Amino acid sequence: MTKHYFTIDSFSELRKNRQVINNEKCANSFLKECVNEKEKKRTFNYLLKKGIFESEDEIISEMKNNPAFKIVIGMNCSKSSSRQGSKDEALVINGIKGVLEPRLEGFKIDNLSVDDKVPIRRTGEVLSRKEAKKLKYSKTEMLKSFDFEGKVGGRSFYGSAKILVGKGGHQDNVLHEEADLLRWLKIHRKEDCFYFVLLDFEDHDPKDIEGLKDSNDMDNVFICDHIEMQRKMEELNEQ
């Protein structure tokens, strides 16, 4: 019997659908929800500079009286779904939680906030951001925080989750962050813990993830996509 795993067929479609929702929220709330404040300011300044409107209140009033204008302004001023990768990552972790926790005895997995578990570059500590700041660690001494944690096979695990759709810009920074984490794990990982680098690529050169995998010779560190991670969790749970 084929085992059931949580799967997402297309992250790009997921983001397209969320962008539609973002646009509608922004428009229907008259720029009070799901707003990219920089784009709103840029759009309002342009309309005011052109003399089309005399005040921001006039722009909002036009949105209320002109449905087409409301839609266009909402599209222009809404948050970009491509900059909301953390929502996709949280969706994946929650999906895995829903499938594996009922099936694997003793298994648990939970999302972490960006302030919960921050690896410290020099000392190898894992602290909350508040603790790190209290101890006077600078931003350059803090790596990107872990995105999830849990237990499998009686051992704790920590993980970083990243989803890359396309190539370039912020996407390339993600690869540098994960390579940085792997260098940190090479020195500071705990032997009684597991670590996951969860990477899902779409329309992205697979050589990038293969390069990370080839550089990894640590037996308690796993680089995988969301399907491979579920299989590995089952394997570790049976050990």
Residue 2 has pLDDT above 50, yes or no: no
Helix axes 67-77, 56-65, angle to 10 degrees: 120
> What is the spatial distance between Cα 166 and Cα 179, in angstroms, rounded to a whole number?
19
Residue 21 has pLDDT above 60, yes or no: yes
Residue 131 has pLDDT above 90, yes or no: yes
pLDDT digits (tens, 9 = 90+) for 43-66: 999 999 999 999 999 999 999 999
Single out the residue of 114, 125, 120 nearest to residue 87, CA to CA.
Answer: 114
pLDDT digits (tens, 9 = 90+) for 143-167: 999 999 999 999 999 999 988 887 6
> What is the spatial distance between Cα 128 and Cα 118, in angstroms, rounded to a whole number?
6
Structure tokens at 69: 């204008």
Say what the pTM is: 0.84
Range with the lowest mean pLDDT among 28-37, 77-86, 97-106? 77-86
Residue 111 has pLDDT above 80, yes or no: yes
What SS3 class is residue 29?
Answer: coil
CB within 8 Å of 140: residues ≥ 6 apart: 121
Residue 169 has pLDDT above 60, yes or no: no
CB of 96 closer than 8 Å to CB of 48: no
pLDDT digits (tens, 9 = 90+) for 195-218: 999 998 887 677 777 888 888 999
CB within 8 Å of 162: residues ≥ 6 apart: 85, 89, 174, 177, 178, 197, 198, 199, 200
The residue among 84 and 79 whose pLDDT is bigger is: 79
